[in-house]
Each structure stands twice: as structure tokens, then as C-alpha cells.
Structure 1
Amino acid sequence: MKGMMLRSLLMCVGCLLGSTLGQPSTTPPPYQYQTCAPPNTTQLGNNLPAGTVMPPVPTIPSTFQVRVEANILDKKTTIVAEEYYDMLNNRAALRTITNNTEDYMIFDYTNDQIIYDVNGICYADDMKYDDNQLLFGMKLQHGSGVPHIYTTSDTLHFAKNNGLLYMGRKAVRGIQCDWWRSCMYWSMLQSNFTLDYYFTAMYTNYTWLEPDNSHVVPIRAEITGNQYVPQNNGASYKTFHHIYEYFDFRHSIWAPEAKFMPPRGLKCAGRKSTKPVPNLTAQYSYREEIVDSLDSAISQADVYYDYSYKLVRFDYRPGNVYPYYTSNPVTEIHDYSTGIAYAIDKTLGNCSIIPIQNASFDASINITVNQNANKQFYIRMKSPSQLFYLDNKTYSYEGQRTVRGVLCDVFISKRTDFTLPYISVPFTSTFEFFFLADSWTEQNNLGQKSITKDVPIQLAITTPDSVGYSVTYNLYDWTTEDPSFNRFDVTSCYTVDQKKSFIIEWPGTWDQSIAQYQNQFVRQVTQTITRMSHVNAIRIQKPTFNFDTSNIYFVATLLDVPQPLAYFSKMPNRYRQMSNDKQVTVTSAMDCARSCNDGSTLTGCMSFDYCPSNNLCGLSKSHTQDGSVVAGSTTCDHYDRTVDNTALMRSMDAAWTALKNSVLIGDFQFTVNVNGNPVKFTAGSIDENVKQNAQRQLSSQVLMNKFNMQINKNIPGYDDLVLTGVAIDDCASSCISEQSWVCNSFSYCFDTGYCVLSKLHPDTRPSVVVNKPLCDLYSKKYSADYQMIAGTTVLSSSDTIYQNIYTADQCAQLCSNYNGFNCKSFDFCDGISTCYLGKTHFYDVPQSDRQDSPMCNHFSRKYLADFQKNSRMQLLNKADRIIQNIPVDQCAKICVEQEAASCASFGYCGNSSECRLSTASMRNVGQVSSQPNLWCDIYSRTAFPDGTPYINNPQKYYAPPKSSGYSGGSMAGLAFGMIVLGLIIAVGVFFGYQKFRGSPMDNMAVSFVKDEHDA
């Protein structure tokens, strides 16, 4: 919409409203003068009420918008326009509709450009060389050489200087207006004209009110004049007559972002890019919402990206596609150092280890040419910017726009490198990227940093109508912290034998300030392990940082190498046309892949053919995924390495040996900047007695009631087993279920989930207990394995008595650990600090041996504590003994007391009260099988009464009794204790008699209350 026609048609649109068309000529030639007719004073007087003074010259606001109907009478043409004027931000815009054509001009004075949108085609011109720059003025600001828009007052002063006259009041379109007249000359068109313009009336006793509460707004402008047109035979004059009607004048611009920017998704050729495309960091994570308008669908995904470790993880629902074929949520982790993808079904827990697919959003294909000029392909990881297609040089900065209520910088690119799997013909896509504006900040809930720049907010992709694809990615929780800290967990893809957990310690003096450097510390340790052990980063799993005042601890799990075939992409029924570099005889494709990975067979092996018909394995240094170098075959398959990397993969044992040696000889060193200063760390020790993320069991307070708690306490130096990233119930459960030794206590730190199991019971060495903030010490409550019968004694005739025992828990520990016989119960009399051990369970003794004792309590073993329960399962092929109509705890008792301790498990069906004892154990695969059953449970024996793991035929529990049954305390003390016990029993019988007889004779009663905290 460029050229003289627009200027001549709309030269008055800006004349009145601050968008001036040019400055008046100060020395016009004689023929340029035009004299305005003076106002008719008689008419003026008739129009104005008596005593009314002339109103002030109207003023125009510095920001406004207005709709204009331009009627060009001499052309018999009407043009509709919208004008937007923003002097404060140095910009203006004009939209016109004529001849069924819509044109839009944006005057960007800041960047010295006029942006045109003509029927959806956008381009930009330099304002200094564009004819339409005069529509809104073109002057230099403070002599700086920067183009600037004319102010609204400039135009009115210009009119006033040319003889501005007040003509009185007149009704226009039914609106009472003040009428003004000016005579003007426009030098560019060599035109003289008279301008009449009308503003809503305003004087002392009368004001016309506009819809937006404005008092003085333009209503109409009428221009009549003639233009000097030079011709060969002399000058001539061309007359013109225009009337401009102004509607909906507002003192502010509604939705200004939409007025001073091209429509969304429209890229303007030639527009200056005043802001570079943001650079993304090497590590980041985010959550994205994918809005597919074509399919009317919304989906979500979480992405974790680490370019330094060559790792990408994304969590999503894949649908019915390879390798999942499920709608379950999955986690897919790509390791580009090996070309292996770990596909984990988060619902079922299944894990598939497969090659990374070249259609993956994070994969890029490199193309090389070998000596035979045949194309060869391999996959590589996209760079941080490539992941979002930000590497392309076609992006231009389009200004600022609000999306999701956030002010953003907008970048637009037209590109042809975006493809869709179902479209074979090339097409051009539009990428519109929104980044958080510099005036905004984002604070995430992770890590140490608060992000202030280069934060992506939204990516919108559109394609031509012929393709019909559009998608919007809304990006949330953008985090540039190191995502490698426990984000790429693939341990579920490996068996127990393929994992080795370890702990490394750094001695020193540390305080809480070291915690803020845990991410840097973990990354440096991980990088040092990869360097020392020659493994890639993904094989170092579950890194955990912890510390106390004397040590820093790093706990992690080392994984074995993946299965060999995972490194190669299979091309079925294909083989290499050229001869291979090495041929070996194998029995499987797995063995062939192992030979390719083994550097001793062929250095630099990149692909192989496997022909099962003759067990032939052809190894090749060539890297071919596609092209003419492979041909069809009915007997062979071709396997090509997914990435261009042939580095040897060390086994777990070899890597562990190298790691351990590096610590022991003092080579495990690295530097971390602490408080701005480089600090060198040298590992002091390494150990493999570590478990990570123990198997969870159902959480309950019953579990925690098996331990006594000491707040803010710890026993340093007795860390027999370390667990990390667990809840407190996991820690307690691991202590109870430990199979290889007896766990007597554990410490748990609530701020880190750090758990240390110990063989030491704090009661045996209370002096080693120290203070430790945020950590609590839990000691095994042995009495939890016993059922208490309060106010009762059974073992008054026991020959195994301990004195100076002050808690029931100490007495229970003596019973559980006693070797002289199978201790099944004990009496504890806290009044005389005495413990009696017994061979008999409470329910097995005659009624006559049970006596009331206000000062004593009896405790009998809970046999179910020695078993692990598998609910709703039934034993199938092993039932050595079946007992009907007994409770489940009685079934457990019979199993424990079975001769030679041969009972390893039992099944119990609650609907029939049936007990099925078995010498087979569910813990030993193949000995016994089971099937689901709604009413039955299987109990597998896990421990003896002292907590040691269960084994068959334990001699320690059936050794001959010792000659002396007195195991603690002096004979004199024992004699005194027996006398006191007799007195207590006598007193108990007396009070029992009085209780059943009636009220006390002297109206006095005595009761003995036991403090729960004493047990």
C-alpha cells in the first residue's frame, strides 16, 4: 500500500491527529498562496450563545486509536481505516481497507523501519527511504540521528501557524461540534487546500460527552483544494474534495501488543533482528504441555537433558507403538555415549534395552561418505539449542507479546528442516518461540539458582494448510540446575548381580555450608569415577551426598555393561555387499555383537552380519544403516552400531577394581570451588557394603514400635550397612529383615533420607552415642517380639535368672540371644530388677503354674515375627503336615518348634483355619510353587528368635544344657531375689483374694502402675 495514492487519499487522516503528512513550506511560490475566507461574524454570533467566549484550541492525547471513513469525492471512492498512535513508545500503525484489499502498516521508529502486511504477505522497508514515512512524521530526536514520530501538538501548532480560525458551532452527524478552519500548503504535492475540522463542542455551560468520557474528540475533517500539475504546455490545477469521518475515538489503545506487531505466526522479510536468539545451557529440565489442535488432544511430558553426560530422559505416554504397545506412562532414557535407550514401563516395571531410534525428537542423523562414496548414517545427540530448533539462522526478533499471561520476547523462523513421518514432500513450517521478557523473572522450586533470562515459555509450530499440522508446546518449570542428580535411573533394567553399590568417604572438618555445593560435588565425583573406571556416566546410578562433622560421604551404584546387542540397530534380511574385515564363528547374534564390542577381535568394529544358517559372524569397520552398501538376504541380518563410538566397555568387576585402586593409592582427586576458593578433595576410603533404595514394605506405626528412639543422636563409626534415598519405615524394615547379620540399631537423617544400619545396640555401649542434629537413633526393642501378659508370673521356678536388669527390653534381648536352650518366654519383675528365662510358651504351661503378680509381667514369644508374609497366595506342591482349626500364631509356633527346625514355611488359609507346614521355602526358587488365592497366605521363615537368618538344622539351639543355669548376678543376690519374689507372690495372692472377696476391710486399696517408658 505504498505510493502517492495513499498519501493523497489519506493526507488528512494524520493532519488532525498527530500523524502529520509534512511540514509547511515557509517560502511558497506566488501561485501557492490560498486565502481562507474570513468567518462570517454575523453567523458566528448567531451560532454562539450570548456571552459565550471562543473555546481553546483543541488538544490531542499522546496515545489514541480511531476509526476513519475517508470519502474521496473527486475519486468517488471510500476508504476505511484504523489508526493507532503511541508517541510515548515511538510507534504508530495504520490499517486500511479498499478495493477488497486489507493493508497494514506498522511504523517502528525505534528500529527505523516500516513493516507492511499486505493480504498476509509481510515485509519491512527502511523508514528513511520509504515514501510513507511522512504519514506519521519523520524527524530527528535531539540531533541523535534517530527517527522519531511527530508529537500530536506539532500538527495543531502547524495549523495554528497557518491561520487557524474559529468558525463557531455546528451540528455534524447530530453531534454539536466546534468548527475550526485553516489554510495550508503541502509542498510535496504542491497543493493548496482549506481544511475544516470539527471537534465535539466544549464551552462553559455545555459539553458533549463521548462514550469513553472524553470531552473533546475529532468528529469530521473536510478538505478542499487544488494541486499544481506541471505539463508541457504550461501549468494546470487539479481540484480535490475529501471528507473524513472519525468514529470511536479513544484516549488509549486496546490490546496494544496486537496493534504494533504482525499477526502471530507471520514472519516479515527484511525485518531487523534487534535481539539474538537465546542460548540454552548444557543442562536443563522442564515439563511441557503439548496442545494438538488438529486432534483436539492435550498431552504432557517431562524432559531432562544433560549434554555433558550425553543423556536425555523423557516421561510420557507413548501409545500403541514400539517397544511399549501400551498406554501406560513410561520413562525413556537415551544414552548417546553408547546409543542405547532404556524404555521403562512405570506401571508394570518392565524395562527394554534397545537402540535409540532415529525418529526420536532428541536424535539427529549425521551423514558421512566412505571411500566408496556410499552414504553412511549414524545417530548423534542434538545440542541444547538444536533440541528446540534454535540453531537455525532464520530466526528474527518480532517484539514482545503476552502468552499465558506472561510478557515474552517473540522469535519467528521459517524453516524446511522440520519433517513429519507421514509427509514425503518438502514443506515450510513456521516456528514461533516465546521467551520470558527481561523485565520478568522466574523462580523454580529446585536447586540453588533463580533464573532471570533465556527461559522458554511457549513454542508454536504451524504448517501450510496442505499439511494440516499445528501444535503448541507450553513449557513449565524450566530448571537449569544439573539434572544428573538421580534423574537418569536405569537400575530397574539390571539384575542384582549386575549392580554393585559402594560408599566413598572424604575425611575432614565440615559444617552445614558444604551442603550448598552438593550438586557440584556429585558431578565432580561422577566425572572422576568415569575417568578412573573407564565407564560412561549412566553406569553410575543413584548418587547420594551426605556429610557429618568429620566426613563427606558419596554413595552410588555401579552398573554392569548392557547386553551386547543393545549397541546395534538391526536391519533384518540384509547384509553388506562388500567383504567384511573379520569373520568369526559364533552360535548367536549376541555372541557376534560381543565379538564386535571386544577390541581384541577387531579394532574399530562398527557393524556386523550374522548368518544363523552357518553361524557366520562378519565384522566390519564400516558404519552403515542405509544405502546401497547393503543388499537383501534371506539368511542373514545386518547389525549397525547406533552411534559413532567404539570405546571399549569395561565389565562391572573390572571397573570396580580400577575405582577401588584409584582410591587406595590416592589418585581419586578433584577440585570444587567452595566459597569462591578452589578446594582439592582426595578420597580417603571406599567400601562396597552398601544397599540403595531398599525394597519398600507397607508403612505402619506397628513397625516403628519395634524400636526405641533417641532424638538427635547417632553412633558414628558403626555403619555396617548404608542405605540412601529411603523413608524411615524403609530403614526400619531393612534393619528387621537383614539376613546376613543381626541389626540391633539404625540412625536416620530426615533431611537427606540417609540410613545407617548397625550391629551395635546402644544399650551395650551407651558412651559411643553422640549428638547429631536432624538425625535420630533407633535401637531394636526386643520386647516387641513378645506378647506381654501383665501382672502374671510363670517362671518362678526357672533356673536361669538375671539380676540388675532394669528394662523388659534388656530381658527380652537376653531371651532372644540365649544359647543354652530355645528361650520361649521370660518374666520381668521391675521391682527387684530381675529377669527369668523360660523354655516354655505361656499357652503350653499348666494353669497351676500361672500366678498373679502385681510386680511382674510375663512375656511369651510372637512366633509370627520370624516369618515374612506373602498375602493371598497358596502353597501348591509342598505340604509335609496339615493341621486343621488352629489360629495363625499357633501355626507359626508349631513351625518354629518342629523337630530339628526343619519347617521352613507354612501356608495358612483363614476361611478354613488350615495350617500347611512345609520344609520348602519360598525364598529358594524352584523348591516350592504357589498360586493366587483370596483366602490364603504364605509365611516364609526368615529368622531365628535372636534375629539371625534361618538355616536348616541349627545346632546352636539344641546344644545340651550347661551344668550351671545361673548366667548373671551373684548367688547372694539371687537368694535375696528369690526371697523377695516369694514375698511378692504372697502379697499378690493376698490382694487377689481381697479383690475377689470384696472391698478392703479398712477401706484402703493398693494398686501397682507400671510406667510404659520403663519397658
Structure 2
Amino acid sequence: MTIHFLLMKQKHQDSPDNHCVVKNLTTYNNFLFGDVVTNGSHHVANTNSVLHFLTSNGQQQYIGNQTTIEGIPVDHWRSCMYMASMNANYTLDYYFTTRTDNDPLAYPQIPIRAEAKGLRRLSNGTNIQFNHIYEFYDYRPAVTEDATIFLTPKGVVCPGRKKTRPLPKLQKFYSYREEAITGNVATLYDIWYTTAQNLSRLDFRPGQGNTNPVTQIHDYNTGVAYVIDKVFGNCTTMPIPTSSFDAKTGLKTVADPGVLMMRSGASFLYLDDTYTYEGQRPVRGIWCDVFISNRTDYAPIGNKPSRFEFYFLSHAWYQINNIGYTDQVDTDIPIQLDIIWMRGFDEQHVTYNFYNFNQEQPADDVFDISPCYSDPETMSFRIDFPGSYSSMLAFQTFYRSVVSSGVAQYAGISPLRIQKSKFRFSYNDAYFIGVMLERAPPVSEYRAFQGKYMGTNMDAIFNGVTDANECANRCRESQNFTCNGFDICQTKSTCMLSRYRWENKPIGTNPNCVHYSRVIGGLPMNQKSLADAWVQLKNKVLRGELQFEIQMNGQPQTITATSINSNVLVSGNRQLSSSQYIAQFTSYRNQFVPQHDSLTITGTSVDDCAQACVEGAIFVCNSFEYSFDTGSCALSKLQPDVKRNLIQPRSQTDLYIRDYTNQFSKTSGQTALSSANVIYQSIGNANQCAKLCKNYNEFECKSFDYCAYIGLCYLGRRHILDVPVSSIKSNPMCNHYSRNYVADFSRTPNRVIRQQDNRIVQGVSVQQCAKLCVEEQGFSCASFDFCGNTTACRLSTASLTNDKNTAVASAFCSVYSRRALPSTPPQQSNSSGVYSGGQMAGLALGMIILGIMLTGGFIYFYFKRREADTDMKVAFTRNDYSS
């Protein structure tokens, strides 16, 4: 069937213009181009037939070329025609330019005129003569415009038009950014919508005095709206307004009219079966399938007549979405919506542009209402699913949403009350973590009607109740009947509950009362309290009833929860402080060592975990693992850098290995202990060598050399500052490490402790100054001032912790306070601590004489014992990389 359209321009008040009439070509005559019937189907004649005088329907005759039309010489043809639909006999004369005419199109012959003259016989026997002349101008042998010239004009609805293409269907969930253009104002909205969980979110800037952007989350499981100020973070709970962008009211059941319901994904965008396909047009440079509809349900204009013209991405195009988790090659996505209506005789117009349209399950953190709750109203938990998960799941976000919704269902609460959820897999276990929230304030589930009451239609009455929230809680906790509304009257101090809504029963007027009606109809979800929901969820786990089906390597697999624990610290962020304890470890992200835990601490911070490892007295802790999901800390005796083959990957768990080298200062490419008498062989790295030095008992190890290419570790008694320069050798394959005394101090810049100096030493480095303080024997050195501009080192028994008032500002100096003071202070020296020039000279002379004596003695004993066995100690260690 072929349809013909007639467009009529007319303007009506409160109604869009450009009216279209649809007629069927089987009954409507197309006189000029003819009506060709093939196998019972009607068609417009092809161009060849039309411009060659429809020879199949009559007899053609060439008349000659003696005629001119408007000065143009033409060839003249005539056909004798009969049109059955009009019961008409007529002659059809066609005039073409002659072949000798200089045609500007360089086309052999083009039509100039057609004239139809004949007689039409009506059904009553009357004959009507007619003579139609058709002039052809601007003839082109091809269509130079795009295909849109064959479409009905933009914004024109043709009632009764044949539907040639179905409207695209949307999923149960989607998200997008919307740009609403009205006049010269473009307003942006971000929208998330999931009818699978009955949740929606709208981000916008309300205006009208409140200029802060707002997140508005609607929970259609309970009827509660959460409004969060994105600048200040404060949250307000209220009933979902009836005028909400995602709400509709109407008949839900025969016995329950007028309740609030969530729009379906299609009706939210006004998509239904009233649309007809127009064709394809470009929008924003994108070719789109265009659908149009006449409507009266556009709420912003008061449900007046309007036209909706919807543009969907053409099937010849596809969008690659950068915010999805699965393959985002989608075609049925909206690009633009144009809405036109009349205000008086003026046409009004609004355009909605759609961006980042994504039809995937929204991530749970999209609907984050945690700012609406304080810590006492929350509970963090972890659920374990042991099993074999050798193949990591590709779409953990999807499974997180599935498990999160399932956990809420098992607990008997709305999915919105499970927040900060994560679902983690490793090679031999899986676990789910989340935060369970308390119920919203009871009154936020009911809509208030000021000055109204239901009077005698009450099922329970409580005296002495004047607080609406308390009355709402009694309604919510009602066990004998489903409470759908209540009245609270201040003058009577009564709370009256009813199973009816105000829509079901007559409602009266009382200025001293307020009637509250439940927002959501039907049997509302029995929202358990946080304590009751937690007990129910624990029981489900302990009975082995908490199960989910997931896809593993393309096959369904049922996973069962075996344990649940509330002693967790859910953060999810690797937030580290500048703790002195964390600084003593090297971190390896997303790694752990299975089955080597010596002690587990739950619900703690990573800094406290590091402190427990450093200061633990039960065993020597060489590493720990920390889960940023749960705040779980696992201390271990193992030094994993010795057996790296034991390290395995695990998401959101970081491995921290004790870094003993941070207690030493490194001098690259040099050695100072070539004559050391303690040597370890087969040492895998400098950290192991540093650990040997720290734990060595036969003497105080102050330094070591480590040669990585041969795995040698030399331990030494002396610091590099005490070693003669001649003993320091260049060796590009080795590095020297001396104890970092500065690490024993905390620095306070731009301060000094005045008039508390026990000793002053000039011309030393900050490292030397720290060493002098630690090794001071004459008094208990608690701090030192170091001034970079003079290299002055001032040792003191005072510290910032016990002499706060003595610290003063200084541009070039810093105070270094000892982290741990000696337990027994040495006896104070009689000296003032400041050496005079004569004293320094005498000390230098004594040191020279002592040096000569020690050197002579060393030479004597060296030659005396060169033939004897050496007392050098050599130790061997094994790096086991195979076990």
C-alpha cells in the first residue's frame, strides 16, 4: 500500500500548525504521474514511464517540431489516455526541447510543458470538460538534494500514517547527560535510572536562591527521596514529591488508586506506541532515525497539546561509549528530543540533547546516600565465599551489583541501604564487603496533608503522642495490619493509624491535625531496622542459605557464603600518612603471600598495622599485608623478598616488606670495609644485608658493604665518617651503607632551642651532628640545632617536647629532636661542652700520638700472626627460590 500526504499550513491557538492529511493512493487519484497497478499493488509510475507519456496506458504519436513555447523550439508528442479511477478520456500532450536546442544542462531533451484535455463522466451521467496545463521549470536530470526532501517537514505529524519501523526499546537501566535548551539558556542534568532496583538519581542545580549543585536520589522501594548538597555535603530526607521527574500517579490496583509509582524506563522518556517513523535526518552531524508523536502528557506545560520529535542513532551508525564496562557498540540510543507547543499564537520550543547514553547496570556507588548517615547508623561487614577462582572474573562491577542487591534481599532491606560494596576475587577465595545503613526517618515515607484528618476510619489510636516521627514509626512497625496512613492531632495529643489512604476514604478538615499517607502503594517493603537486618543476614549465612550464581569460564557456578564478620574497616582508598613506621617498609600493590600469616588484626589502619609490625614483641615481624577494603592487617615473620616465588596477586591487598636499608645512608659505587672480618655470601639483596647488620650481636654494626653481582655482604664496626679517606675505595659493582643517624630524629624546620646548648661543634654535616648526639657520652643528648648557613651543630639535653617555650624562630636552622631518648642518662661532664682553641689543639695532638701507637701495634701483631690462621668469620646463607 502506498500512502500520499497532503500538507496544509494553518495556525490554531494552543495547537501546533503544519497539519498533515493522510490518504490512500488506492482511492486518491495521482493525475499527473499516474497510478500503476502491479500484482494488485498501487505504485507511482517510474520516471521513464511518466516522461514518456505513459505509453502502457495509451497510444503515443509524434506531432512534430514546428511549435515553440516561450520562444523555445520543442518536439511535440500526444497520447490518447483513459483513467478508470476518474472515468475520463483525455489527450495528453508533452513538449520537450528539440535535440538541436542549446540546452544549458547539456542534456539531449528536457520537458517543457504537459497539457491534459478531455471529458470526465460523473456517476450521475453528467459530463465535465477539463483542460490542465503543467509547466516545467528548473528541470534537473538527477536529484541533487539529500533524501530528506522526500520526508514530511520537520515537526509535522501525520495522523494515520503507516508505521514502517518500530520505536527502539530501552533496557531496564541507563544513564546519560542531558542538555535542555530553552531560549538562550542551556541547563545540564545527569541522570541514572534503574527500574530493576527501583532507583533513580538526578544531578542538577536547582536555582531560585539555592545555587549549589544537588544530587537527588529516589528510592521507590520505600518512597523516600534523599537530597544531598554537593558543596556542603548535608543531606535531607523527604517523601518523593508527586511532581518528580520520574514519578507518576494513577490506578495501581482497583482497591488502591492514586499511589505514587516509578515511571518505566520507556515512559520516563515519553516513549510509547503513538510514534511513527518519519525517516532519517542529521542532528549534530549524526544521521538519526526520526520518530514523531502528538501528545498531551508533557507535564511542564500543563498537559497541553504538543509535538515530540525523537532522534535515535541510525542503525548505520554506532556509538563507542567510554564509560561502560561491557562492549559499548550500541545503536538504539537517543540523540535529541524536540518538543513544540503553542502559547496563544506563538510557537514554543525546547530541545533536549542526550550525551554519554549508557544502557548498563549503574555502579552501586552512583546511588551513594552515606552522607545522610552518621557512624552509629552504619555497620561495615565482610562475607566470605571460599572456592577455586583460578580465572579472574572479567566483570566484577556487574557481579558486585548482583551480589549487593542479593545481600539486601536476604537482609530484608532496600538495595539502597547497602553502600560502598565491593566483590573481590583471588585464586582461592572471594569476598564481598559493604556498609549497611539504618532505615530513613519514618516520617519520610509518608506525605503530609496539613489540616486534614480521616476521623473515624482509624484502626489504632495512641494517646500522648505529638511527634510525627514517633507516630510514623508506630505506623511502620504495625503488626496487626498494613498501616498506610495516620493522623496526628496536637490538641488531642493522639496518634491515629489507618489501613486506608486518603484517596480510599473520605477525608475531613481539622486545622489542628495533619494527615500522613504512605507514598508507595500496595504492600510496602518491610524495612527492617539495622540491628534486625544484621541478625537476619547473619542467620542466612550461618545456615548456608546465602547463595549466588555467577558465570565462571562461560559456565554457571553457585557460590555459597560460609562466614560473615562485622569487624572490618571499609575505606577502599590507599590513604597513607607520613608515619615513621610506614617509612620503614617497601610496598607492593595488589600482592600478598598466602598461608604465612603469624598474627591477624582486624578493623585497623595501615599506619597502626605498620606500628604493630615494628614494635611487636611476640616475634620478629618482617612483613605485613593490609586490605584497604576491610582494614585487615596480617603480620608475618617471613621476609618475602628472600622467597619472591611465594608472592601472589590479590586486588586491594598490599604487601609491605620491612626495609632495613632505610636505617642506613647509601654511598653508591664505593666500599669502606674491604678488611671487614664478618662476611656473608649468597645474599640476595641489600635489604637482607641491612637486616644482618641490624641484628648482629657480637659488636655494634654501624655499616656494611654490599656487592650485588657476587652476593657478598661485609659487616663493619665503624661508620663511614670514622673511616680514613684512604680506606674508601671506588668499586662500581658495590655500595656502602652506613647507619643513618638522622633517622633517629624528627626535624622541626626554622626553629632553634636558645640557651640550651651543652656542646657546639663547627664545620660538620647534619649527618655528623646526628652521630655526635647519638654517641655523646658526657650527657644525655636529646636534640640538636643545625644551622645550614654556618654548619654549626649545637647538642642539647633539652627537647621541644619538654622545653616548648625555648624554641624560637630561625631562618637557617632546624631543631632535630630524638625520637627515643636513652633510658639512663650518662653522668654530666664538668666541661661546658665548648672546646677552646688550646683544648682542641691538645686533643688533636693526643689523637695523633694515640694513632701512632695503635698503628705500630697493629703492624707488630700483623707480622706476628700473618702465618697463623686468620680469625676472619665467613657465613653462608641460602636464597631458596624454588620452594
Match of 1:405? 285
- For 1:658 and 1:250, locate their aligned partners in 2 and report how far apart those are by CA, in whole Å: 79
Contact kept in structure 1, 2:164 and 2:277, CA below 8 Å: yes
Assess if the C-alpha contact under 8 Å between 1:92 and 1:136 holds in 2.
Answer: no
SS of the equivalent of 2:471 reads: helix
Q: Which letter maps to 2:138? A: F
Q: Give the 3 Å change call, closer, same or farther, for CA 378–516 of structure 1 in structure 2.
A: same
Residue pair 1:91, 1:260 contacting (<8 A) in 2 also: no
Amino acid at match of 2:266: S
Would you say 1:551 and 2:421 are equivalent positions?
no
Alpha-carbon shift at residue 763 of structure 1 (Å): 1.6
Q: Equivalent of 2:188, from 300, 306, 324?
A: 300
Contact 1:306 / 1:482 at 8 angstroms: preserved in 2? yes
> Which stretches in structure 1 are left out of the alignment for 5+ residues?
1-88, 96-100, 104-117, 724-732, 792-800, 843-847, 870-880, 917-940, 947-956, 962-981, 991-1015
1: distance between equivalents of 2:808 and 2:571?
33
Secondary structure of the corresponding residue to residue 138 of structure 2: strand
The corresponding residue for 1:381 is: 262
**Structure 2 vs 1, CA of residues 216 and 465 (structure 1 numbering), >3 Å: closer, same or farther?**
farther
Q: Which residue identity is paired with 2:249?
A: I
**1: distance between equivalents of 2:629 and 2:186?**
36
* 1:759 equivalent in structure 2: 635
Aligned residue in 2 for 1:220? 113
Does the 8 Å CA contact 1:802/1:836 hold for their aligned counterparts?
no
Partners of 1:342 and 1:416 in 2: CA distance: 30
Partner of 1:541: 419
Written as runs of structure 1 = structure 2, the 5 A alignment for 1:421-460 is: 427-445=304-322, 446-452=324-330, 454-460=332-338
After TM superposition, the score normalised by the length of structure 1 is 0.62
2:307–2:341 contact (8 Å) kept in structure 1: yes
1:382 to partner: Cα distance: 1.0
Partner secondary structure for residue 394 of structure 2 = helix
CA 1:122 to 1:721, structure 2 compared with 1: closer, same or farther past 3 Å? Answer: farther
- Which of the numbers 340, 343, 349 marks the counterpart of 1:470? 349
Instruction: Give the Cα separation in 2 of the matches to 1:236 and 1:436.
Output: 54
Structure 2 vs 1, CA of residues 275 and 768 (structure 1 numbering), >3 Å: closer, same or farther? same
1:660-679 paired onto structure 2 within 5 Å: 660-674=538-552, 677-679=555-557
Shift of the 341–272 alpha-carbon distance from structure 1 to 2, 3 Å rule, reads same
SS at match of 1:487: helix
The two structures have a TM-score, normalised by structure 2, of 0.70
Task: Determine the C-alpha separation between the residues in 1 that align with 2:808 and 2:415.
Answer: 49
Equivalences for 1:151-162 in 2 at 5 Å?
151-155=46-50, 156=52, 158=54, 162=59
Query: In the alignment, residue 311 of structure 1 is paired with which amino acid?
Result: L
By how many angstroms is 1:695 displaced? Answer: 5.9
Number of matched pairs: 751
- Which residue is equivalent to 1:350? 234
Cα distance in 1 for partners of 2:799, 2:329 equals: 68
Give the C-alpha shift of residue 772 in structure 1.
Answer: 3.5
The reply to whether residue 829 of structure 1 matches residue 704 of structure 2 is yes
Q: Which amino acid aligns with 1:473?
A: Y
Q: State the alpha-carbon separation in 1 of the partners of residues 60 and 242 from structure 2.
A: 76
Any conservation in 1 of the 2:217–2:225 contact (CA below 8 Å)? yes
Displacement of 1:169 in angstroms is 7.3
Give the direction of change, closer, same or farther, for the CA distance of 1:387–1:490 in structure 2 (3 Å limit). same
**Partners of 1:274 and 1:397 within 8 A in 2:** yes
2:569 — aligned with what? Answer: 691
Deviates more, 1:237-246 or 1:404-413: 237-246
Contact 2:221 2:414 in 1 (8 A): yes
Query: Is the Cα–Cα contact under 8 Å of residues 692 and 722 in structure 1 kept in the other structure?
Result: no
Q: Distance in 2 between matches of 1:452 and 1:789?
A: 58
Q: Distance in 2 between matches of 1:908 and 1:809?
A: 38
- How many Å apart are 1:230 and its aligned residue? 8.9
Residues 193 and 651 from structure 1, CA distance in 2 versus in 1: closer, same or farther, beyond 3 angstroms?
A: closer
Cα deviations by residue, 1:666-711 (Å, 9 ceiling, x for unpaired): 2112323445543222123333344333567599999997642558
Letter in 1 for 2:192: Y
Q: What CA deviation, in whole Å up to 9, does each residue of 1:848-886 have, x standing for no partner?
A: 99999966523236578799x9xxxxxxxxxxx997899
Shift of 1:337: 0.6
1:503/1:556 contact within 8 Å kept: yes
Given the alignment, which residue of 327, 345, 353 partners 2:212? 327
Measure, in 1, the Cα distance between the counterparts of 2:528 and 2:208: 36
Is 1:140 aligned to residue 28 of structure 2? no
Q: 1:683 to 1:217 in 2, by over 3 A?
A: same
8 Å Cα contact 2:226/2:235 also seen in 1: yes
Instruction: Give the superposed CA RMSD.
Output: 5.6
Residue 364 (1) aligns with residue 248 (2):
yes
Deviation, structure 1 residue 362: 0.5
My pick for the range that moved more, 433-442 or 557-566, is 433-442
Q: Which runs of 5+ in 2 are unaligned?
A: 11-15, 615-621, 669-677, 707-712, 729-735, 757-765, 774-780, 785-795, 826-846, 856-883
Partner of residue 178 from structure 2, selected from 281, 285, 288: 288
Q: Is the 8 A contact 2:423 2:433 kept in 1?
A: yes
1:599 aligns with 2:478: yes
Q: Give 2:140's aligned residue.
A: 249
Q: Which residue of 2 aligns with 1:589?
A: 468
Distance 2:822 2:782 in 1: 19
Provide, for residues 534-555 of structure 1, a one-character-per-residue CA deviation record: whole Å limited to 9, x for no partner: 1111111233232222122322
Map 1:142-221 → 2, pairs under 5 A:
143=39, 145-155=40-50, 156=52, 158=54, 162-165=59-62, 167-168=64-65, 172-173=69-70, 177-187=73-83, 188=86, 190-193=88-91, 195-199=93-97, 201-202=98-99, 207-210=102-105, 214-221=107-114
Between the aligned partners of 1:902 and 1:591, the Cα distance in structure 2 is 53
Cα offset, 1:450, TM superposition:
4.2
Amino acid at match of 1:679: Q
Cα distance 1:310–1:703, how it changes in 2: closer, same or farther (>3 A)?
farther
Distance 1:370 1:711, change over 3 A: closer
Q: Output the amino acid matched with 2:211.
A: T
Distance in 1, Cα, partners of 2:505 & 2:264 = 26
Q: 1:697 to 1:528 in 2, by over 3 A?
A: closer
Say if 2:570 and 2:630, in contact at 8 Å, map to a contact too: no
- Cα distance in 2 for residues equivalent to 1:279 and 1:909: 74
TM-aligned CA deviation for residue 662 of structure 1: 2.0
Residues 746, 316 of structure 1: alpha-carbon distance in 2 compared, 3 angstrom cutoff: farther
- What is aligned with 1:277? 167
1:557-956 alignment to 2 at 5 Å?
Answer: 557-572=435-450, 574-578=452-456, 580=458, 581-586=460-465, 588-600=467-479, 603-611=481-489, 615-624=493-502, 629-634=507-512, 636-644=513-521, 645-674=523-552, 677-694=555-572, 707-709=585-587, 713-717=591-595, 735-736=606-607, 741-742=612-613, 757-760=633-636, 762-763=638-639, 766-767=642-643, 770-772=646-648, 778-780=655-657, 788=665, 827-830=702-705, 834=715, 857-860=738-741, 862=743
State the alpha-carbon separation in 2 of the partners of residues 378 and 784 from structure 1.
70
TM-aligned CA distance change 1:811 to 1:410, over 3 Å: same
SS of alignment partner, residue 478 of structure 1: strand
CA distance in structure 2 between the aligned counterparts of 1:613 and 1:812, rounded to whole angstroms: 81
Q: Secondary structure at the match of 2:78?
A: strand
Percent identical pairs in the alignment equals: 28
- Corresponding residue for 2:276? 396
Alpha carbons of structure 1 residues 829 and 102: separation in structure 2 relative to 1, 3 Å = closer
Distance 1:370 1:91 in 2: 42
The one-character-per-residue Cα deviations of 1:949-969 (angstroms, maximum 9, x if unpaired) are xxxxxxxx99899xxxxxxxx
Structure-1 separation of matches of 2:201 and 2:77 = 73
For residue 593 of structure 1, give the secondary structure of its aligned residue in structure 2: helix
Structure 2 CA distance for aligned equivalents of residues 582 and 483 of structure 1: 43
The offset of 1:471, in angstroms, is 1.8
